[in-house]
Structure 1
């Protein structure tokens, strides 16, 4: 039992710092704080059941630098895509070569979902969990949802904004 204590302590430390690492820990954006920034809502999963991430968030070094400004989540073609929080549709339609939906939320948060055939219209209010579109093939080799998030002008890891808090170990 004593040999298990260092392993559990190490797991607790990894769990405490994992969201910051996943968010590309760059010193204080909303994702580093798990969405605790003033007015930034906690998000819920945009697919049900909660999907497996197939490509992580990779923050760019600067505004126009290379990176992956969202996460790719495994899904099924035609699967309903859900609003991750209450908001207003700021774009629903075709942009370049694919369809997408973008929502504006409180606290300067904006989320995007692609490739998604919209079931909503620009200007429409949506509620957390409401279907906003249907997942389309074409972004990944297998169907996947590219889910992005920005707080003000900074791209953040949407997984770092998911509600539910961090896993913590209870004292003996």
Structure 2
């Protein structure tokens, strides 16, 4: 009976780490940035909430595509400069306020420069914040998700049995 745990451990250690990260997102700011405001999706979707995360940055800092896809919007939306990228599998990411360096219809790879971060994001405690959002599905029927949970470098944190279900970045929500 001791052979089974040893075999399971060997299989786990031999697994290719790259395969586990396929389809995961990269940080849109480099180096990775501090979260100034966390994800707080409303329930139901049309109510107030925070449908993304705000990342501390600097005015003019380059904003990168978190994954490959097609730019579906690059311009002003409701007076805010925004870039939105459609990825394989129905995931869409959005970045604002960003002065676009790309155009709608353009194909981008993970790490492609989308534009420059601008000042003026409401509630930002530093000179500039990137609001980074992610959703599955079309805008009218979107399911907003926490982009931090889709990162390739999302840490795995074990919690004690019975502890509240909080992500490592949950403190940023308070």
What TM-score does the superposition give when structure 2 sets the normalisation length? Answer: 0.72
Q: 2: distance between equivalents of 1:94 and 1:165? A: 31
Q: Give the aligned partner of residue 171 of structure 2.
A: none
Task: Identify the structure with bigger relative contact order (alpha carbons < 8 Å, sequence gap 6+).
Answer: 1
| Structure 1 residue runs of 4 or more that deviate by more than 4 Å after TM superposition | none
Aligned partner (choices 65, 69, 74) of residue 92 of structure 1:
74
Consecutive unaligned residues of structure 1, counting only runs of 5 or more, are 1-35
User: 1:11-68 deviations in whole A, cap 9, x for unaligned?
Assistant: xxxxxxxxxxxxxxxxxxxxxxxxx9xxx92100000000000000001010201110
Aligned equivalents of 1:113, 1:74: Cα separation in 2 = 13
Indicate the structure (1 or 2) with the bigger Cα radius of gyration: 2
In the alignment, which of 111, 116, 129 is matched to residue 144 of structure 1?
A: 129
Question: Secondary structure of the equivalent of 2:54?
Answer: strand
Find 2:34's aligned residue among 29, 52, 76.
Answer: 52
Equivalence for 2:153: 164
Residue from 92, 101, 106 that aligns with 2:83: 101
- The root-mean-square deviation of aligned C-alpha atoms, in Å, is 1.7
Structure 2 counterpart SS, 1:90: strand
Aligned counterparts, 1:58-77, within 5 A:
58-77=40-59
What residue is the counterpart of 2:3 in the other structure? none
Instruction: Say if 1:83 and 1:127, in contact at 8 Å, map to a contact too.
Output: yes
- The whole-number CA distance in structure 1 between the counterparts of 2:35 and 2:155 is 18
Specify the SS of the correspondent of 2:84: strand
Stretches of structure 2 lacking an aligned partner (at least 5 in a row)? 1-19, 159-174
Shift of residue 165 of structure 1? 5.0
Matched, 1:133 2:115: yes
Q: Aligned partners of 1:162 and 1:99: how far apart in 2?
A: 24
State the 1:106 CA deviation: 0.8
1:155 aligns with 2:148: no
Please give the per-residue CA displacement for 1:63-89, whole angstroms capped at 9, x wherever unaligned: 201110000000000000000000000
Calculate the TM-score normalised by the size of structure 1: 0.72
CA offset at residue 96 of structure 1? 1.5
CA distance 1:115–1:41, shift in 2 (3 Å): same
